[in-house]
């Protein structure tokens, strides 16, 4: 008797939780913490989930500052971080500018939110840079069903002047999404002002799509979500 009551209660609780997951859904970033792979893997190995479109690798999986004192002493999460420091891979040279990208298709729940015309993308990550000669930028570009660019949001240039130098700094990027958005592309960039090693580190990327701005819009969005899911299930 008691067991049955608990099961029924759990089922009701689950029903009540469902709308919450539709209201805000995570962005399915692959390997956002850079834990898939091995130390010293380069962006040409490649690094799982991420693509380097350059002609030479510009990124590696690093773990400490034993090779150059200017890199992060330890990962912000887990055992590895993303670094622009070629010393990790033993490379003789590296590009002045490098960009590592990942395109993420929105989940059905996120597509429904976006189609409702009131969705905001939130992206967060950690950044480390204590070399004044190196700069980083993270940009998120919104793409429609044909991969055409609808708009973008960017951190702008991040440099040692923007945060405490030897610590990992939490960075957040947020912006309204075009209602035609079906995918987003994250571009992680490094730029070197001088010298030959890009001493920049990134770790722990995560993102979500949240309904904005009003709770009135939220109800409408959930209605669209329910319709969308039903249509997909019929296919
Ligand atoms: Ca990590
Ligand atoms: Ca440097």
CATH architecture of 26-234: Sandwich (2.60)
Per-residue model confidence (pLDDT) at position 117: 86
Express as a percent the part of the chain with pLDDT over 70: 78
The residues with which 120 forms a beta bridge, in sequence order, are 176, 210
Q: From the CA of 63, how far away is ligand 1's center (Å)?
A: 9
Distance 72 CA to ligand 2 centre (A): 12
pLDDT of residue 16 exceeding 60: no
| Per-residue confidence (pLDDT) for residue 148, from 0 to 100 | 98
- Cα(24) to centroid of ligand 1, in Å? 24
Ligand 1 centre and the CA of 31: distance in Å?
9
The Å distance, Cα 107 to ligand 2 centre, comes to: 38
Provide the residue ranges of all domains of the chain, joining segments of one domain with +. 26-234
**Predicted pLDDT at 179:** 95
Higher pLDDT, 18 or 48: 48
Q: Write down the mean pLDDT value for the chain.
A: 85
Mean pLDDT calculated for residue range 77-90 = 98
User: Can you give the pLDDT at residue 24?
Assistant: 80
CA–centroid distance, 143 to ligand 2, in Å, is: 33
Per-residue pLDDT reduced to its tens digit, 89-148: 999 999 999 999 999 999 999 999 999 888 999 999 999 998 989 999 999 999 999 999
- pLDDT reported for residue 165: 67
What ligand is nearest to the CA atom of residue 196? 2
Query: Would you say residue 19 has pLDDT above 50?
Result: no
Rounded distance from Cα 161 to ligand 1 centre (Å): 24
Of the candidate ranges 51-65, 83-97, 165-179, the one whose mean pLDDT is the lowest: 165-179
Task: Write down the pLDDT at residue 162.
Answer: 63
Closest ligand to 125 CA? 1
pLDDT confidence bin for 231, thresholds 50/70/90: very low
- Report the alpha-carbon distance of residue 197 to residue 87 in Å, rounded: 8
Q: How far is the CA of 32 from the centre of ligand 2 (A)?
A: 24
Distance 134 CA to ligand 2 centre (A): 5
**What's this model's pTM, rounded to 2 decimal places?**
0.81
């Amino acid at each position: 008797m008691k067991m049955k009551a608990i099961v029924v209660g759990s089922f009701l609780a689950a029903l009540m939780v469902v709308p919450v997951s539709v209201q805000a859904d995570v962005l399915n970033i692959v390997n956002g913490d850079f834990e898939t792979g091995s130390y010293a893997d380069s962006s040409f190995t490649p690094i799982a989930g991420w693509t380097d479109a350059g002609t030479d690798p510009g990124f590696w999986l690093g773990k400490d500052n034993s090779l150059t004192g200017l890199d992060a002493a330890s990962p912000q999460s887990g055992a590895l971080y993303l670094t622009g420091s070629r010393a990790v891979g033993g490379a003789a040279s590296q590009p002045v500018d490098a960009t590592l990208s990942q395109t993420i298709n929105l989940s059905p729940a996120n597509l429904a939110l976006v189609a409702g015309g009131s969705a905001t993308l939130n992206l967060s990550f950690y950044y480390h840079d204590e070399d004044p000669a190196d700069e980083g930028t993270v940009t998120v570009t919104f793409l429609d069903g044909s991969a055409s660019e609808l708009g973008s949001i960017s951190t702008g240039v991040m440099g040692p002047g923007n945060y405490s130098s030897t610590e990992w700094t939490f960075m957040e990027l947020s912006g309204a999404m075009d209602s035609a958005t079906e995918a987003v592309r994250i571009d992680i960039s490094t730029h070197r002002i001088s010298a030959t090693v890009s001493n920049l580190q990134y770790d722990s990327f995560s993102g979500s799509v949240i309904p904005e701005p009003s709770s009135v819009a939220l109800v409408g969005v959930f209605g669209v979500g329910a319709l969308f899911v039903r249509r997909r299930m019929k296919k």
